[in-house]
Amino acid sequence: MSMIETISLRTSCRTYSDKPLEPDKMEALKAFLKDNTDAPFGSEVRFELLNFKKPGMTKARTPGTYGVIKGAGHFIAGAVRHRWKSMEDFGYCMEKNILKATSLGLGTCWLGGTFNRTGFADIMNLDGTELLPAVSPVGYPSGSRSLIDHFFRFSAGSARRMPWQELFFDGDFEHPLLKESAGPYEAPLACVRLGPSASNMQPWRILRNNDRFHFYLRRTPRYKASFGHIKLQNIDMGIALCHFALSSEALALKGHWQIHDPYMGAGDREYIASWICEG
């Protein structure tokens, strides 16, 4: 499965079957989590595959998800040391975990607010400088969705994506970037558009200027998207950066990330980072 196919196939799964994870898939995922520490902006991240079905893991010791997730026995949990760009770094690396699980035929679902953060943090043994921004169940999807699954998909509009012309711009924010003008980057931009985001708010905006793609965050007004230092929409931006970089790499489009605000009249949009095309 190619990376672009994996991104296209990823969906949020909230209801899981009781089919156990095969040992080879579990070991492949664990190895990936262990090695996935290269964050684009240098934050220290770490991830673990938590098994709530192992002996001694009683229901009383299992952190809850407030009824949002049904039937999951395994979770991917991650921690990041609090610093500049730590939310973007976490989002970038955690989404790589999600895509790895997808490539193994497993279901996942980002949880940034609807889970027992304290319970998961205790299991992860956070130190005083680490944050636990999100977790994800991982396993085989059930054959049918639960009522809570249907509710979340309906309320968040999970199948809806904002129109291309509202997300991507050319030269300035007055001119949408036409698909036919995006050249080889049409697919990476499409992969950004497919990314998951908190409540499906899709806060990313991208401005192409010559050989650079500038990524901006447009915060959703009156939306509860923060838990202390944990900023869900900054995590969303990390997911967008991840999809763009991985799909560009899959297409042999070379580039790198750089932090240098071009001051392009962004208005209420917050500058995050720029992709500099190479060659």
Beta strands in 64-165 (DSSP E): 74-81, 107-108, 130-131, 135-139
Question: What is the CB neighbour count within 10 angstroms for residue 177?
Answer: 21
Which pLDDT value is given to residue 148? Answer: 52
**C-alpha distance from residue 211 to each of 40, 101, 166, 175, 199 (Å):** 20, 33, 21, 17, 32
Give the span between the Cα atoms of 78 and 121, in whole angstroms: 9
Which pLDDT value is given to residue 246? Answer: 98
Which pLDDT value is given to residue 188? Answer: 98
Give the span between the Cα atoms of 249 and 204, in whole angstroms: 20
Does residue 48 surpass a pLDDT of 50? yes
Which pLDDT value is given to residue 149? Answer: 52
- Inter-residue contact 134 to 89 (CB < 8 Å): no
E strand or H helix at 149: helix 147-156
Which pLDDT value is given to residue 34? Answer: 98
Does residue 239 surpass a pLDDT of 90? yes
More confident residue, 63 or 179: 179
Does residue 258 surpass a pLDDT of 90? yes
Return the percentage of the chain with pLDDT > 90, whole number: 85
pLDDT (mean) for 257-263: 96
Res. 80 pLDDT band, cuts 50 70 90: very high
Exposed/middle/buried for residue 256 (C-beta within 10 Å: 0-12, 13-18, 19+): exposed
More confident residue, 147 or 112: 112
Does residue 263 surpass a pLDDT of 70? yes
Does residue 201 surpass a pLDDT of 70? yes
Give the span between the Cα atoms of 150 and 42, in whole angstroms: 38
Choose among 187, 207, 223, 225: nearest CA to 262: 207
Which pLDDT value is given to residue 154? Answer: 47
E strand or H helix at 181: none
**C-alpha distance from residue 235 to each of 202, 240, 268 (Å):** 11, 9, 18
More confident residue, 57 or 265: 265
CA 58 from chain centre, in angstroms, equals 30
**C-alpha distance from residue 2 to each of 31, 241, 250 (Å):** 20, 18, 8
Return the percentage of the chain with pLDDT > 70, whole number: 92
pLDDT (mean) for 119-148: 88
Which pLDDT value is given to residue 64? Answer: 82
Choose among 107, 164, 162: nearest CA to 138: 107
pLDDT (mean) for 180-198: 97
Give the span between the Cα atoms of 243 and 194, in whole angstroms: 9
Tokens of 40: 């684009």
- DSSP code for 230: E
Give the span between the Cα atoms of 33 and 92, in whole angstroms: 13
- Rounded to 5 degrees, φ, ψ at 211 are -100, 25
Give the span between the Cα atoms of 218 and 237, in whole angstroms: 10
- DSSP code for 21: P
Give the span between the Cα atoms of 258 and 40, in whole angstroms: 9
Does residue 157 surpass a pLDDT of 50? no
Does residue 150 surpass a pLDDT of 70? no
Which pLDDT value is given to residue 61? Answer: 56
Exposed/middle/buried for residue 77 (C-beta within 10 Å: 0-12, 13-18, 19+): buried
